[in-house]
């Protein structure tokens, strides 16, 4: 076998990675609140498709392509997988092999809050858990620090001052540059902001669920964030795949219910009817339903950035196009509100929820 023939046979992901030279010219970066940090309008989340349940080469191909296309922000958490920890481990492997030279071009985040290890110190918001979890995350991700460290969820039992104090310690130890909170109510967010101000913690970002079907941040949270100079990064803009073309057919797609976290209760006849209506608006705009849902989340007045969770390069490519179409007419917005703005869908991440 000639060496030229052999070289062609090497899968792309096994070749040394050199990032695309024009990677920073493709997306318009946005300021996070009044901080100095900029994020791309679309960021890549590693919750579900980057654990040991997916081929490593596919994950690597997606991350390389995302970075080549200007996605600088990669969002993780201690419990992303499955199994827990494996998304951070797989990311760490890619950090060692592909992304080390580009570390300063990336914004990496991780979180602590959901159940991670057994016993009373393996979840929620105590100083004991939050700081121990960050150590473990850094080890798995093969980095010395992350750019954003989040409290992943509110904890009724722990004083907000203790949890924000733990994030503050992480920043002072040089293990995180900025702090964030996720799924905190407007009231608890205001409390967290007050503590952070007193301590001087760079609490710059909130990560709420936000989609056409889930508007809770519009009921007070966005006001608090604007008033305190914080930015936001939305998650599940596609409602875990519900706001995509796969639900527009009458078949019940297998992948649709494959995620344990996907709550089948949302799939009512009324929801399907709404999805068809939204699909029609998307079609008029020359977009897929997924693209319109993403464009909507990052429209003026929406979130600073939204997280995308993708399982293939095709999904990534399709979703990236959404960043160029954040313009909506008043009529389109009104029709979207009519169809999707008054739903009472199940919100898995409201403060009292038990799913991570």
Q: Which stretch binds ligand NAP (CB under 6 A): 9-17, 162-170, 238-246, 331-339?
A: 238-246
Q: How many Cα neighbours within 13 Å face the side chain of 272?
A: 12
Residue closer to ligand NAP (CB basis): 47 or 99: 47
Interface with ligand NAP, residue 322, by CB under 6 A = no
Residue closer to ligand NAP (CB basis): 189 or 319: 319
The contact pattern for ligand NAP, residues 4-23, with x = CB under 6 A and - = no contact, is --------------------
Q: How many residues lie near ligand NAP (CB under 6 A)?
A: 30
Pick from 154, 171, 266, 307 the residue near ligand NAP by CB under 6 A: 307
Q: Which stretch binds ligand NAP (CB under 6 A): 4-12, 133-141, 188-196, 236-244?
A: 236-244
CB 275 within 8 A of CB 289: yes
Q: Which stretch binds ligand NAP (CB under 6 A): 11-19, 124-132, 307-315, 325-333?
A: 307-315
Interface with ligand NAP, residue 168, by CB under 6 A = no
Q: Who contacts 185 (Cβ-Cβ below 8 Å, separation ≥6)? A: 154, 221, 351
Residue closer to ligand NAP (CB basis): 45 or 279: 45
The contact pattern for ligand NAP, residues 36-75, with x = CB under 6 A and - = no contact, is ---------xxxxx-------------------------x
Interface with ligand NAP, residue 221, by CB under 6 A = no
Peptide bond into 22 cis (omega under 30): no
**Residue 172, token pair as written in the block:** 């002072």
Interface with ligand NAP, residue 236, by CB under 6 A = yes
Residue closer to ligand NAP (CB basis): 97 or 311: 311
Pick from 237, 323, 336, 339 the residue near ligand NAP by CB under 6 A: 237
Interface with ligand NAP, residue 192, by CB under 6 A = no
CB 290 within 8 A of CB 244: yes
Interface with ligand NAP, residue 298, by CB under 6 A = no
Pick from 137, 185, 305, 318 the residue near ligand NAP by CB under 6 A: 318
Residue closer to ligand NAP (CB basis): 293 or 334: 293
Binding site for ligand NAP (CB under 6 A): 45-49, 75, 152, 182-183, 207, 235-241, 244, 246, 255, 290, 307-311, 315, 318-319, 349
């Amino acid at each position: 076998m000639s060496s030229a023939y052999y070289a062609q046979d090497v899968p792309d992901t096994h070749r040394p990675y050199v990032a695309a030279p024009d990677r920073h010219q493709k997306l318009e970066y946005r300021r996070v609140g009044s901080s100095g940090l900029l994020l791309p309008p679309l960021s890549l989340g590693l919750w579900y498709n980057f654990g040991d349940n997916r081929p490593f080469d596919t994950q690597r191909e997606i991350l390389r392509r995302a970075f080549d296309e200007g996605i600088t922000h990669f969002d993780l958490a201690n419990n992303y997988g499955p199994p827990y920890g494996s998304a951070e481990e797989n990311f760490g492997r890619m950090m060692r092999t592909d992304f080390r030279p580009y570390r300063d071009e990336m914004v990496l985040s991780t979180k602590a809050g959901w159940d991670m290890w057994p016993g009373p110190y393996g979840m929620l918001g105590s100083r004991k858990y939050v700081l121990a979890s960050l150590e473990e995350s850094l080890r798995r991700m093969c980095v010395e620090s992350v750019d954003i460290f989040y409290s992943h969820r509110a904890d009724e039992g722990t004083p907000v001052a203790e949890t924000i104090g733990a994030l503050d310690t992480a920043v002072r130890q040089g293990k995180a540059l900025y702090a964030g909170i996720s799924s905190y109510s407007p009231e608890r967010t205001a409390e967290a902001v007050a503590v952070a101000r007193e301590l001087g913690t760079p609490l710059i970002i909130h990560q709420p669920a936000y989609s056409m079907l889930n508007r809770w941040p519009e009921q007070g949270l966005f006001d608090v964030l604007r008033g305190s100079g914080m930015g936001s990064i939305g998650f599940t803009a596609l409602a875990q795949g519900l706001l995509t073309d796969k639900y527009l057919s009458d078949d019940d797609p297998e992948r649709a219910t494959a995620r344990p976290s996907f709550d089948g209760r949302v799939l009512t006849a009324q929801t399907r009817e709404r999805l068809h209506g939204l699909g029609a608006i998307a079609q008029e705009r020359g977009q897929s339903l997924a693209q319109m849902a993403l464009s909507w989340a990052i429209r003026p007045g929406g979130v600073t950035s939204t997280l995308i969770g993708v399982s293939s390069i095709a999904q990534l490519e399709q979703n990236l196009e959404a960043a160029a179409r954040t313009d909506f007419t008043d009529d389109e917005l009104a029709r979207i509100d009519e169809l999707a703005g008054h739903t009472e869908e199940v919100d898995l991440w409201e403060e009292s929820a038990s799913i991570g």
